[in-house]
Chain A
């Protein structure tokens, strides 16, 4: 069975500082990985997915299969980045009806 671990429940940085939210996974196959974000009083929404190799709102995440990690990074944090971030994994081979396994979440606070 797959598992996603986010070791930091809380992360606090100052505006303009780099930020890295850690995500580690265990899965025997080739996973698809996502970052979802929940801003205060808003719905959970997709931030980015590894297969797209995209940068959204300045965030990037690289899949490191050797270290089984998918850390989320941003070089200069902004106050509006304060939110709860969830790392999620989808097992390979699933298309529609794909079950996501979520990590425990990291609450990021960016201080002025």
Chain B
């Protein structure tokens, strides 16, 4: 049981390049999330998917797109990378605990550097 996995672990891009960050979970969770972590700003939600087939914007969606490919996989795409997108990206999935409150489980993160 790998939990939440992310690829790649680290990536360097040039401004204007595109890439897709992959995330998969094997816990049969309905909800999946993409966050970015920046020093002094905590984690900010980029996009989330409450269930297979649905996606919604979070706090900082500009410059990103997502795809909920199936229940297991939720990818994040940068169409034209900018230096401001240099960050650590975390994927998470969530399950209800006690019937009403969701616990989120996080992946190991992807470090992205945009030059």
Contact = CB atoms under 8 A, between A and B. Distances in A.
Interface string A45-60: 1100101100000000
Interface stretch (A13-21, A63-71, A72-80, A97-105): A97-105
A100 B94 CA distance: 11
Contacts, number: 65
Contacts of B49: 97
Nearest to A97: B50
A95 B96 contact: yes
Interface residues of A, number: 24
A32 B56 CA distance: 21
A21 B40 CA distance: 16
B94 A98 contact: yes
Contacts of A32: 101
B103 A46 contact: yes
A25 to B, nearest CB: 13
Interface string A71-112: 000000000000000100010000111111111110000000
Interface of B: 4, 30-31, 33, 35, 40-45, 48-51, 54, 56, 58-59, 90, 92, 94, 96, 98, 100-109
